[in-house]
Amino acid sequence: MKKLGYRVSILALCFGLLSSVQAQTAPAAPAASAASAAPAAPAEPAAEITCFESRKGASEVVKRDLKPGHPNVKCSTRTGAVLWWGDPFDGTVPMGEMPLMEKYVGKAVVKPRSDKLPLLAMCGTACHNGVGPKFVPPKLPTTRKPVPIPTMEGMMPDAKNFQHGRGGIWCLDCHHTTQRNKLVDNFGEPVSYEQPQLLCGKCHGDKLRDWRDGIHGKRIGEWASSGKKRWFTCTECHNPHNVQDGARNRGFIQLAPELPPQLPRGMIDAKHELRHGIAH
């Protein structure tokens, strides 16, 4: 019996050694080799979030991080408008000189928008650069009556039914005659698209005064009267080509209201807001 047990132990040991050798020499499974040979799938880029600051289609800003956990803007999931700025001066430049407004402007900054106007360079350099055939000045219309221009109608379908001024003004009352990538002031001088108030104030003097004094329009930044502020210019809120707002044929386009702020968890009402913070 002892000899039989000894022989069984020897056979079991040999069988175990043979199995381990076969496992080491066996080819790898096809699925494993395919998985190791296939390159890793590239990660999909995060979807870009864009919201508007004042008027949809004119003041879009892309959401990004100024630093980790500190975004440049917070966008509304309801309307797509900016609800909060991480840095109101991000991407701004000094407004520049403003005639008769030196004491009002102070540390005023604006956000350049020329690079967001896709037709600006085309209009100013390709078609209306002030140079015609053989370098002669282009012939301008002698009347303000609209004429069919297919290219212009393609870019601005309402050109023949222009409502701004209700027939009292036409294109070249606002756009410079030879520098079409510029506006024009009351003296025929070119005006940058970054300072449309110099143009709009020609007719809307009362609105220019109110905007200058801070009771019309929008500003964000420091509270102090002489503090640094971001000023929103006329065309950031108003569309000069559709000031009558389409079918309504009146006024400023209606805005979709945001949802009211929600009370913090655990609060049943907001009566604490009725109490003055300083005891008298």
Contact indicator for 232, 109 with CB cutoff of 8 Å:
no
Write out pLDDT tens, residues 265-280: 888 888 887 887 676 6
Question: Residue 160 domain-assigned?
Answer: yes
Number of domains in the chain: 2
- Same domain? For 160 and 55 the reply is no
Residue 76, pLDDT score = 92
Cα–Cα distance, 123 to 128 (Å, whole number): 6
pLDDT score for 110: 92
261 lies in a domain?
A: no
Q: Are residues 106 and 243 in the same domain?
A: yes
Unique residue bearing structure tokens 């296939």: 38
**Percentage helix, strand, coil, to 5, in the chain?**
30, 10, 55
Same domain for 72 and 148, yes or no, is no
Q: Are residues 81 and 182 in the same domain?
A: no
Residues of the chain with pLDDT under 50: 1-2, 8, 17-18, 21, 23-26, 28, 34-35, 132-135
Residue 173: the pLDDT is: 87
Residue 53 structural domain:
48-87
- Label the pairing between strands 190-191 and 82-85: unpaired
Distances, alpha carbon 253 to alpha carbons 60, 249, 260, 265, in Å: 17, 10, 21, 36
Domain assignment present for residue 178? The answer is yes
Please check whether residues 56 and 92 belong to one and the same domain.
no
Between the two ends of the chain, the Cα-to-Cα distance in Å is: 107
